[in-house]
Amino acid sequence: MQGEWDVEAHIMGDNGQWAATPIPKETAIYPIFEGTAHRETMKIAYGDMVVSLFFSWSYDQYRQVYRMISCDDQSGLMSVLEGNFIEGTDTVVIDDVRAGTSMVEAEGEASFSQLSSSKTSEDSFTDILSESYDKGHTWNPIFRAVHTRKKLSKNN
């Protein structure tokens, strides 16, 4: 996942169809702490609102679980998502149900998050963000980002 990526992003519309969103168009994922984790920052459009997000991934070798933290510039809330690969696949699924770091909607309802990240080729992967209002019993996709590795120009 490390490197520079072009991104094609979509928001789930009210009609149940993916609708293109103008940002993000690109992102970069870099190693930190001598490669034991990595970080990413990204701007995402939700209608007229643009949100800056920070992500950091690592692998807990003692508990054998992948963990991601995320934070946005609107609420400042930090979410902790954890999970693992679906056996026999190139898809990792993490959520914030166990950590209990769900967002609380205006009505006081907890909104849990799940991220499914699937390697689709050597140079691409797709992330699907879903939300749950029943503590993870059902998930509804809300955001999709298709990442394609940027090609190095002949000048590089």
Q: What is the CATH number of the domain that holds 59?
A: 2.40.128
Query: Is-contact 49 34, C-beta < 8 A?
Result: no
Residue 136: the pLDDT is 96
Mean pLDDT over 106-134 rounds to: 95
Residues of the domain holding 26: 3-149
Residue 101 lies in a domain: yes
**Which residue type occupies 82?**
E
pLDDT at 47 over 90: no
Residue 156 lies in a domain: no
Quote the number of domains for the chain. Answer: 1
Residue 155 lies in a domain: no
Instruction: With cut-offs at 50, 70 and 90, classify the pLDDT of residue 146.
Output: very high
Instruction: With cut-offs at 50, 70 and 90, classify the pLDDT of residue 154.
Output: low
pLDDT at 49 over 90: no
Residue 96 lies in a domain: yes
Residue 103 lies in a domain: yes
Residue 31 lies in a domain: yes
Q: Which two tokens stand for residue 83?
A: 């999970």
Instruction: With cut-offs at 50, 70 and 90, classify the pLDDT of residue 106.
Output: confident
In the numeric block, the tokens 């003692």 are attached to: 62
* Distance in angstroms (rounded) separating the CA atoms of residues 127 and 117: 4
pLDDT at 44 over 90: no
Q: Which two tokens stand for residue 80?
A: 């902790």
Residue 154 lies in a domain: no
Contacts of 62 (CB under 8 A, 6+ apart): none
